[in-house]
Amino acid sequence: MRELEAVETVGVVGAGTMGNGIAQVAATAGYDVIMRDIEAEFVDNGLDAIESSLSRLDGKDALDEDPTTIQGRITGTTDLADLADADLVVEAALEDMSVKQDIFTDLDDVTDDDVVLATNTSTLSITTIASATDREDLVVGLHFMNPVPIMTGVEVVTGEKTAPAVTEFAHAFAEDLGKETWESDDKPGFVTNRVLMPWINEGIRAYDEGVASKEDMDKGMKLGTNVPMGPLELADHIGLDICLDASETLHEELGDRYKPAYLLKRKVAAGDLGKKTGKGFYEY
């Protein structure tokens, strides 16, 4: 395994919301970044999102360097083979086990044998993802929170065969990006989603059953528990499709107490996925 001091280039698989956010914070911390997605359009959209995010942060005097300098450290590609030069890879692709295993099999072939492979999964088994490689001891979960440039937390998840030194490496890397970490065993949902998804689903059920208006549901939880967003607002922010996928995974693994709310399923079926589509429980 490479020591953190030897890491100069970080590979990121996926240029979507999470992938481009991870690429941005890595580049901001001084790393060279290779960001890969399957289509040039996705890569370009990711680079545009980074440019916009850096511009906003610069406007708030939140950057130590010029945005152009930071973005200059990021290279976009559609060729996974370009990650051969990476000293660490963080995968942030679709939350689908078969997709992730295919990616990790390819990364195992492309990268050097001592490169740590991390996954940003929020619910899927690190151990199962790692089983697609010949380096299960070098696979670890690095679950960033959305939006990555703003949220300070990163969940480090240890698989069945993750080496202790790799877990320590994951904590150290996240902290080098200016993040704070906590650690979870490889159990469904880890810490955050195991607790968060039932909270969101119960808020949706309570709203659907007429306990309160959506505004009062969220206001009550914010004022009553000191959270920054209530369950309906937060679900819109995360993406209702992502909430549903996570809830279904937890339901399958842990039983009926994680059953997704009917109204959540109906919203997703209607294509109202929250902030990213302009409409969910609220309009944007």
Residue 267 annotated as binding site: no
Residue 14 annotated as binding site: yes
Q: Is 52 annotated in the active site?
A: no
Point out the catalytic residue in the list 91, 136, 155, 233. Answer: 155
Residue 72 annotated as binding site: no
- What is the spatial distance between Cα 133 and Cα 116, in angstroms, rounded to a whole number? 11
Which uninterrupted H or E stretch holds 157?
A: strand 153-158
Point out the catalytic residue in the list 120, 193, 201, 247. Answer: 193
Quick one: tokens of 224?
């009553």
Point out the catalytic residue in the list 53, 125, 143, 201. Answer: 143
Q: Give the Å distances, CA to CA, from 208 to 205, 214, 227, 232, 269.
A: 5, 9, 21, 11, 16
Strand order in the sheet with 180-185: 74-77, 32-36, 9-13, 88-91, 116-119, 139-144, 153-158, 180-185
Residue 271 annotated as binding site: no
Residue 53 annotated as binding site: no
Q: Is 143 annotated in the active site?
A: yes
Residue 248 annotated as binding site: no
Residue 15 annotated as binding site: yes
Residue 119 annotated as binding site: no
Residue 276 annotated as binding site: yes
Q: Is 251 annotated in the active site?
A: no
Q: Is 237 annotated in the active site?
A: no
- What is the spatial distance between Cα 150 and Cα 162, in angstroms, rounded to a whole number? 28
Q: Residues within the annotated binding site for NAD(+)?
A: 14-19, 37, 95, 100, 122, 146, 276
Catalytic site positions: 122, 143, 155, 193
